[in-house]
Amino acid sequence: MMNKDPQEKSVRTLRVGEQVRHVLSKILQRGDVHDETLAKHMVSITEVRMSPDLRHATVFVKPLLGRDEEAVLKALRTNTAYLQREVAHRIQNKYAAKLKFLADESFDEGSHIDQLLRRPEVARDLGDAGED
């Protein structure tokens, strides 16, 4: 078989990543993981990035209101084997992807940028830029 188009591969990695995100979200939403920390927190799976060979999945998570982020990450990492088995069972892929959980910092970065843009000296400079 000939090598596939790189564009097709990237679409596939995005599609599989979205499937993994959906499955993990459902598992956490239904409380299938028997973990006290996860039972007490609503956790959003914001994004899943798959490696090109689909063997590794980086899962970005954010607890509701950003509370107890470290405890939630620890609980997810403790339950990684169970979650990997469940994902592998529900997504019929050639390989069971190894899951790696990370905090999604994009919300924090966006909030920080917003705060910077609202600073008086920045707002003044931005106002001057439009007067040329």
pLDDT value of residue 66:
73
Q: Is the pTM of this model over 0.85?
A: no
What is the mean pLDDT, run by run of 10 residues, along the chain of 132 residues? 57 94 96 92 94 95 86 96 94 88 76 67 66 47
pLDDT for the residue numbered 132 = 45
Q: How far is CA 3 from CA 6, 43, 48, 55, 83, in A?
A: 9, 38, 25, 18, 32
Phi, psi (deg, nearest 5) at residue 91: -115, 110
